[in-house]
Amino acid sequence: MEAPADGIRQPLPASSAARPRGAGEAEARKIAVEFEAVFLTQAVEQMMSTVEGGIFGGGHAEETWRGFLSRAFAEEVAKGGTTGIATSIETAINAYQSRITGGDEA
């Protein structure tokens, strides 16, 4: 395969792209909830960083514990589906998949 004379390669059309692995609606939902949990973990960590030292007195162990606690809070909120973040991400994933596959899936 030769490179074009101008040296610029054109992207493949969307119709020729391989379908990404695990692109079903259930997989899209799972990915969206995981993304929401990661996003919320960062938000909760920022919130917890504003809390003054408590009964544990700070230190490395408390920082580690707060990280785990932040992740646990975020996962529970994401599972509850109350923020709407996962729903928005899932809608975007499904729309993208529909464009790639030529509208075969909703």
Tokens, residue 64:
């580690």
Name which residue leads in pLDDT, 6 or 94: 94
> What is d(CA 101, CA 19) in angstroms, rounded to the nearest whole number?
7
pLDDT in tens, 7-43: 666 665 555 445 455 558 889 999 999 999 999 999 9
The confidence score (pLDDT) of residue 101 equals 80
pLDDT digits (tens, 9 = 90+) for 58-105: 778 887 888 899 999 999 999 999 999 999 999 999 999 888 887 654
User: Which of 10, 14, 22, 4 shows the shortest CA–CA distance to 93?
Assistant: 22
- What is the pTM (predicted TM-score) of this model? 0.66
